[in-house]
Structure 1
C-alpha cells in the first residue's frame, strides 16, 4: 500500500484508527510505504499565520498533524506493522508566481479560516505573507518556497 501527502490531513486523535485500517488491508508481510508532512513542515508559514491571528485577538489552530519519527513510528507499530525505514528530511518546495505564498495558504490552509469573513481572511493572509517576505529562505530572487519537511516510512505487517 502506498500513500503520499495524505496522513498529515488526518487529526492526531484519529491516526491510530487510520493506521489500524491500513494494517487490516495488508496481508502478512505486506508493506505500507508512505510520505507525509513531518515535524516542522511549513513551520515558518504557520508561525506567520499564528502571529497574524494573534495580532487580531484570534487563535490559530494548526490544521495538520506533522509528527517526528519518534512520535509516528510507535503509532505505526501499535497497529501491527514493523517500521523498517524512517526518514525526516527538509524538502523546500518552489511555489508558482509572485503570489505563490498567498495562493498556497488559500489552497491548503482552510480550517483556521472557517467562520471568518473573506475580507478578514484576506487581511490575515496578506499580513502573514508580508511577515514571510523578510524570510530570505522562503523568498529568494522573487520566487516563493514553502518550508516543507517530509516524513517517509516503510513498514511491514507482522501481526
Structure 2
C-alpha cells in the first residue's frame, strides 16, 4: 500500500534535524571520493546530499515528495535534485551511472523492497556500492504499540493495515540484497535511543511528521485527538526527565555490485 504521508519540509528541517545529524555516520561509511557519481536515494531536503557533494563527488538527489525536492533546491541551488519514486522506477539515464547509491532514513518507507533493490542495482556501475541506514525490526516499537492500541481500542481499526513502514530483520534484508546480486560486506542492526526536540511537544511533532497514514481512516475532527491519545499511551515508557526518547532501532549496511 503506498504511503499517504504528507511531508512538511519546514517542520522537517526545524524539528527533525536529528535525522540528518545521525546520517553523518552513514556518510562516513560511504566514504565519498572526489569525482565519484553518487545518488542520494530519499534525499529529503538535501542536507546529506550537500555533505556528500562537499567531498568533491558529483551528486544527484531524488525523493518521491515534490515538496521536499522543492525545499532541497531552495537550500542548495547548485546541486541536482529530482522527483523520483524508486519503488516504481528510476530514470533511464541512471542505468549503470553511479559509483555509489546512498540512502538515510528512507528505505523503510519503501515497502516494495525487492523492486527498490533491483533499481538500485541497475543504477550502479560494476563495482559500485550501496550504503544505507533505515529502520530495522522493532524500530519505534513503543510508538507503534501506542498507535496500534489506540486505533484498536477506540476506533476498532487494525493499524497494521495502515502502516506505511517496512522494518526488516538484518537477515531478511541481507537476503534480499544477495538475491538481487549484491555482495553484503557490512551489516549491523543496533539500538539508537533518539531524543526528540522541544520537550513535551517532541512526540507530537514526530507523529505529525510521520504518522499521517494512520489517521486516514478517522474523521477529521478525531485526528488531533488521536495524536493526543497516542502521546499519553507512550508517555510512561519513553518520556524520561521531561524528554521524549524514541526507541529507534536501525539497520545499517554496505553492499557491493560485483565488478
Which TM-score applies when normalising by structure 2?
0.58
1:1-159 to 2 correspondences below 5 Å: 1-11=101-111, 14-56=112-154, 57-61=156-160, 62-97=163-198, 98-135=200-237, 138-158=238-258
SS at structure 2 position matched to 1:153:
strand
The structure with higher relative contact order (CA 8 Å, sep 6+) is 1
Q: Which runs of 5+ in 2 are unaligned?
A: 1-100
CA distance in 1, matches of 2:134, 2:109: 9
Q: Which runs of 5+ in 1 are unaligned?
A: none
Count of matched residue pairs: 155
Q: CA deviation at 1:66?
A: 0.5
**Residue matched to 2:36:** none
Which TM-score applies when normalising by structure 1?
0.93
